[in-house]
Chain A
Amino acid sequence: MDDDTSAVAGRDGVSVHRGFPNSADDRSRDRLALDLNRLLIRHPSSTYLFQIGGHRWTDHGIYDGDIAVIDRGAEPRDSDLAVIWQNDTFSLCSRHLLPHDEQAWGVVVSVIHRYR
């Protein structure tokens, strides 16, 4: 049984099929073709996930329990939300408020909020 619409017989006796082969192997059959990892994570080596604790950032649409995707490798911008280590905890901070000599731990590239 074949999924092709037009097959051209090759000289080696094997047919050439039009259309893409089905790339879904066993491990991906339960997943979407659109990979959320790819959407959210540009640099896997330098990306770490954190969980938001508390309500300090509710005004910015960041809620208790949200997952923050933090990239240490992203080129910093002034508009970034940065992660800093302060008073023995990790906290969020607008990057433009950071003193220039202070290095952020990483910057927020996405925040994942789940409703249910």
Chain B
Amino acid sequence: MKPVFGLIDCNNFFVSCERLFRPDLEGKPVVVLSSNDGCAVARSNEAKALGIPMGAPAYKYRQLFKQQRVVQFSANFELYGDISSRIVRLLTSVTPRTEVYSIDESFLDLSQLEIADYQQWGSWLRERLAREVGIPVAIGVAASKILAKLAAARAKHSGDDNVLDLVHISEEDRAGHLLNTPVHDIWGVGWRLAPRLRAEGVYNALELSRMSPQLVQQLMGVHGRRMVAELNGTACHPLEMFGKVRQTIMHGRQFGEDTNQFYVIEAAIARLAGRAAAKLRKEGLLARGAALRLSTNRHYPGYQRIGRHFLFETPTADAGTITSRLISRLADGFNPNLYYHRADVMLYDLASQHPLQPDFFNHLSLAELAASQARLEAFDDINGRFGAGTIRFAAEDLSKAWQPKRNFCSPHYTTDWQELPQLT
């Protein structure tokens, strides 16, 4: 199967989140400030057009902000995280083969989906995200991740559609997109590599894709060779589902005696599904699909196997749901004339319950993350039982003075009951 990747890239994500609850800011210059309101970490297109660069120190631009009526927000990470998880949830329902690359970018493995027209598919997905979650995105589709990323960046400037398919495209058009991508905009070319490439006369992605392998090796080693291969449509970087989550969980057992009794089989399935679901929860996973197999004794004549499988509308780790769906699927068409020997339950299309956002948390190790997750769960549990605030961090009682400055923070619309948006 030929690899095909889609990159879903949220346009000026933090700004889009703010605009969702402030539709009046559509078309106006908006910046989101971080680090004690010190510098701009997101800018609307209108703010970019005013020449406000990424990371612009706020104090330097105060005058411009005032003159041009630039609307400022302090970063509201509670809101952005919540909106991001909504997007990931929707993407995971399209395909569980989703890699959450950062808070505002996800790769999808499209090779196993039956998509005739990527352009049309991209428009469909884009429209869904805009209408349902309320966030505009650009979508790039290509044979490798580096190309998909390049395609998404180009898609942002491709007029109204914001979708670019580099798979079904003429060689000439593809070359045109590479030609118009300066080397420093290529994923994997950092600020150190770019000048070295330019010194060799390589200014854009097309020139990089045509560099001689010897020179690439000499200049950038294996990393560079892979990059060039990816630019030429050979996938070297696979989809990384974070933490290498397992793909299936399977539990099976033989019956004490071969049986045609539905209730015995039902009981076995309940037990197997219960155990599989417990394992799911333990690993923090949700299953999108479940399958059941019943077989007669293979050593006897007339060996038969029956299979049932289905997909859940929303991924689940609930033993009750999984069991009842399996049993009702088995009930129709159950053949009581066969004596069954063995049952197997498989859960597949597993997705993480809490997709991690590596960029967001990259200062934490995985072990730390897991530990904090466990701690938070215990925390939730106790506070859930005895009332919020029963357990809290000691520091909460000390002082609020350590908190970073967030003078322009919008309400936590989606994460705090006290701050819900008002409706008249």
User: Does A110 touch B at the CB level, under 8 Å?
Assistant: no
The residues of B that contact A89 with a CB separation of less than 8 Å are 422, 424
The residues of B that contact A70 with a CB separation of less than 8 Å are 423
- The reply to whether A85 and B23 contact each other, CB–CB distance below 8 Å, is yes
B294 smallest CB distance to A (angstroms): 14
Closest to A21 in B: B274
The residues of A that contact B256 with a CB separation of less than 8 Å are 8-11, 16
User: Does A27 touch B at the CB level, under 8 Å?
Assistant: yes
- The reply to whether B423 and A51 contact each other, CB–CB distance below 8 Å, is yes
The residues of A that contact B264 with a CB separation of less than 8 Å are 8, 16, 18
How many pairs of A and B residues are in contact by the CB < 8 Å rule?
121
- The reply to whether A16 and B421 contact each other, CB–CB distance below 8 Å, is no
Expressed in whole angstroms, the Cα–Cα distance for A14 and B93 within the complex equals: 36
The residues of A that contact B231 with a CB separation of less than 8 Å are none
A96 smallest CB distance to B (angstroms): 19
**8 contacts across the A-B interface (CB closer than 8 A):** A16-B253, A18-B264, A18-B267, A25-B278, A70-B423, A72-B132, A83-B423, A85-B23
Expressed in whole angstroms, the Cα–Cα distance for A8 and B274 within the complex equals: 17
Expressed in whole angstroms, the Cα–Cα distance for A44 and B286 within the complex equals: 15
A91 and B423 in contact (CB under 8 A), knowing A10-B254, A21-B319, A30-B385? yes
The residues of B that contact A53 with a CB separation of less than 8 Å are 422-424
A16 and B267 in contact (CB under 8 A), knowing A8-B255, A44-B86? yes
A18 and B278 in contact (CB under 8 A), knowing A11-B254, A12-B254, A26-B381? no
The residues of B that contact A101 with a CB separation of less than 8 Å are none
Residues of A within 8 A of B (CB): 6, 8-12, 14, 16-21, 23, 25-27, 30, 43-46, 48-54, 56, 67-68, 70, 72-73, 83, 85, 88-92, 105
- The reply to whether B253 and A14 contact each other, CB–CB distance below 8 Å, is yes
The residue that A73 contacts in the complex, of B131, B381, B413, with Cβ under 8 A, is: B131
Which residues 239-281 in B have Cβ within 8 Å of A in the complex? 253-257, 263-264, 266-268, 270-271, 273-275, 277-278, 281
The residues of A that contact B133 with a CB separation of less than 8 Å are 45-46, 72
Most chain A beta-carbon contacts within 10 A, residue among B255, B381, B422: B422
- The reply to whether B422 and A90 contact each other, CB–CB distance below 8 Å, is yes
Expressed in whole angstroms, the Cα–Cα distance for A83 and B423 within the complex equals: 8
The residues of B that contact A30 with a CB separation of less than 8 Å are 384-385
Expressed in whole angstroms, the Cα–Cα distance for A16 and B266 within the complex equals: 10
A93 smallest CB distance to B (angstroms): 10
The residue that B424 contacts in the complex, of A6, A54, A73, with Cβ under 8 A, is: A54
Most chain A beta-carbon contacts within 10 A, residue among B131, B256, B266, B421: B421
User: Does B89 touch A at the CB level, under 8 Å?
Assistant: yes
Expressed in whole angstroms, the Cα–Cα distance for A90 and B420 within the complex equals: 12
User: Does B134 touch A at the CB level, under 8 Å?
Assistant: yes
Closest to A15 in B: B256
Closest to B252 in A: A12
A50 smallest CB distance to B (angstroms): 4
The residues of B that contact A20 with a CB separation of less than 8 Å are 270, 274, 319-320, 323
The residues of B that contact A54 with a CB separation of less than 8 Å are 424
A10 and B421 in contact (CB under 8 A), knowing A16-B267, A72-B131? no
- The reply to whether B267 and A17 contact each other, CB–CB distance below 8 Å, is yes
Expressed in whole angstroms, the Cα–Cα distance for A92 and B424 within the complex equals: 6
A88 and B131 in contact (CB under 8 A), knowing A45-B87, A53-B423? no
The residue that A45 contacts in the complex, of B24, B86, B271, B278, with Cβ under 8 A, is: B86
The residues of B that contact A46 with a CB separation of less than 8 Å are 86, 90, 131-134
The residues of B that contact A17 with a CB separation of less than 8 Å are 267, 270-271
B23 smallest CB distance to A (angstroms): 4
A39 smallest CB distance to B (angstroms): 14
Expressed in whole angstroms, the Cα–Cα distance for A72 and B255 within the complex equals: 49
A21 and B424 in contact (CB under 8 A), knowing A16-B255, A45-B90, A46-B132? no
